[in-house]
Amino acid sequence: MGSKNKLKRFRENSTFSNVIQPEREDLLLNSFPLKGKWHSEYFKNENPITLELGCGKGEYSVHLAELNPQKNYIGIDTKGARFWRGAKTALENDLSNVAFIRAQIELITQLFDKGEVAEIWITFPDPQIKYKRTKHRLTCPELLNQYKQVLVPDGVMHLKTDSEFLHGYTLGILNDSAYEILYAHHNIYNNDYSPTEATAVQTFYEKMFLAEGKPITYTQFKFK
């Protein structure tokens, strides 16, 4: 994507009513005004909130919002030029139950209050294979602990990835009494019993991976 296109999308994002771009300083100072008030101040309903972390173009957030008008969806990514597409599509389709935040995922507890989130999807994140990047893996123990803080009791986590490394790494982390694995498979499109929510939406990157013959893995779990 050219720099002119990126700048254009950044400018458009600033005009979109469904895009929130908090200042990092406000998050670090724990002064983000929507924390604990997403239901009352933003969505203006008490419907459960689902997050898509590393949402990319926002396909999952938008599609799930279309399928489930009784739920709210928020895509989070640091790349505003990517989720511009999802935000624009949501506005064009008059979807009031989906929003996007430009922020770092490690600041999730500054964005949401305890028990404010019902579900979390992690869709095709960078697997961060190098050891020195361990803390940046979106299923590392430190980040999982943060997710637990914002999730309701029995809130469900979903990981969908083409990375066998990240799939295996995550299963290793989940092999602990603190977690309950609800479903796990290394190739959801070669399995008759894959959950519908895991196969109903194919992201831009997922379609590329499938075209290359890569198996798509899926794990669903919750905290005990």
Catalytic residues: 126
- Angle of CA points 124, 186, 199, to nearest 5°: 60
Task: Look at the block and give the residue holding tokens 């430190």.
Answer: 142
Hey, what amino acid is at 190?
Answer: N
Q: Are 95 and 75 in contact (CB under 8 A)?
A: no
Tokens of 63: 């599609």
Cite the DSSP H helix spans in the chain. Answer: 3-13, 24-28, 59-67, 80-92, 108-111, 141-150, 164-174, 196-199, 204-211
